[in-house]
Amino acid sequence: MKIDLKVWRQKNQNTKGHLESYILDEVDAEMSFLEMLDMLNLKLAKRGERPVEFDHDCREGICGQCGVMINGIAHGPLKNTTTCQLHMRSFKDGDTIYVEPFKAKAFPVIRDLKVDRSAFDDIIAAGGYISVNTGQAPEANSILISHDEAESAFDSAACIGCGACVATCKNASAALFTSSKISQLAKLPQGKKESSKRTVNMVNRMEDLGFGHCTNTEACQVECPQDISVLNIAQMNYEYNKAKLKK
């Protein structure tokens, strides 16, 4: 296949970026999207040019490190699929593909397609845990959790922290990310105790970090590789209001 790539190139946070055109004419339909970028990078390296920097590690859809805007869509055309799991069979010979970084105020560009998502770690640090030290835990089966509760907590916990929800949202809100952790822990008996404090701290931190407000467009779930439900956001709002009422 022949692919006409328009790739975002940007030296660093302080310089302006631009789209650069590259033609690849030996793309195989079985290649993954990232292998196609590898192919481009090999070509650039051989010509003595700087390869395109992009984020990736596991290449199997679970580490959450990859993620770019492909033709304006976070992680590209397939629903609930990470960039690394997208394959070139989703494109046609002769296609033009625009590749740009996730863009959000809280995710500054580091170089080319790489962005800084450490704000997500900061949100977790604000309270995304159960405060238990190593050694304090009671016997595991002394905390009974019904099958459905556990499965539902898992559905929330499955988030891979890639940031597609933020990149997709017109407000660059981190509501889906933050709420998935809040509601996972709120659904479990061992996480309920700290729920109010956790929710308030995480929501405040999210706002301090420059993420926008959620206006319920629900675009985030569509692009989420794990199909995390927007109902988590409803639960977060419920936990937040409950905490505020208590005060």
What are the residues facing 173 on neighbouring strands? 212
Q: What is the distance of C-alpha 127 from the center of its chain? A: 19
Task: Return the biggest CA–CA distance within the chain.
Answer: 64
Residue numbers 58-97 binding another protein by CB under 8 A: 58-65, 78, 81, 85, 87, 89
117 to 156: interface string for ligand FES, x by CB under 6 A: ----------------------------------------
Q: What does the alpha-carbon distance between residue 227 and residue 95 come to, in Å, rounded to a whole number? A: 28
| Contact partners, residue 76, CB within 8 Å, separation at least 6 | 33, 70, 83, 86, 90
- Candidate residues 58, 125, 130, 143; the one interacting with ligand FES per rule CB under 6 A: 58
142 to 181: interface string for another protein, x by CB under 8 A: -xxxxx-xxx-xx--xx-xx--------------------
Partner whose binding site includes residue 210, from ligand FES, another protein, none (CB under 5 to 8 Å by kind): none
Rounded to the nearest whole angstrom, what is the least distance from the CB of residue 225 to ligand FES in the complex?
A: 7
Partner whose binding site includes residue 1, from another protein, ligand FES, none (CB under 5 to 8 Å by kind): none
Residues in the chain: 247
Among the residue ranges 138-146, 169-177, 212-220, 239-247, the one whose residues contact another protein (CB under 8 A): 138-146
- Candidate residues 27, 36, 52, 66; the one interacting with ligand FES per rule CB under 6 A: 66
Residue numbers 1-40 binding another protein by CB under 8 A: 12, 28, 30-32, 34-35, 38-39
Whether the CB-CB separation of 176 and 232 falls below 8 Å is answered with: yes
Phi and psi at 201, nearest 5°, equal -65, -40
**What CA–CA distances, in Å, run from 97 to 20, 45, 51, 238?**
11, 21, 18, 41
Partner whose binding site includes residue 143, from another protein, ligand FES, none (CB under 5 to 8 Å by kind): another protein
- Candidate residues 8, 33, 91, 120; the one interacting with another protein per rule CB under 8 A: 120
* Closest to another protein by CB, 24 or 243: 24
List contacts with ligand FES (CB under 6 A).
Answer: 56-59, 61-66, 82-84
